Amino acid sequence: MNLDICNLAWQEVVTLVDGYNEAGQHSVTWDAANYSSVIYFYRLTVPTESGSSTGDQVFTKRMTLLK
């Protein structure tokens, strides 16, 4: 599972989670003190079961950073 923050040009700004997590509820904090106040996207990529032909599930949402 990966959780990435991307800018408007879809360039990866930072990766917050990279690896396997157990099922359940999790929280992640992004220290955005050194980033500009603009629109970002967060993208959660979840791999499907091995051997599946459907590929990864990708969930993307828009986020506005205001300072």
The pLDDT tens digits for 47-66 are 887 656 678 899 999 999 99
- Tally helices (H) and strands (E) across the chain: 0, 4
16 within some domain: yes
Q: 52 lies in which domain range? A: 2-22+36-64
Cα distance between residue 37 and residue 35, in whole Å: 7
27 within some domain: no
45 within some domain: yes
Cα distance between residue 22 and residue 24, in whole Å: 6
Per-residue pLDDT of 5-41, as tens digits, reads 999 999 999 999 999 888 899 999 999 999 999 999 9
Distance of CA 14 to the CA centre of its chain: 9
pLDDT for position 53:
60
Strand partners, 40: 63
pTM for this structure?
A: 0.80
10 within some domain: yes
Number of compact structural domains in the chain:
1
29 within some domain: no
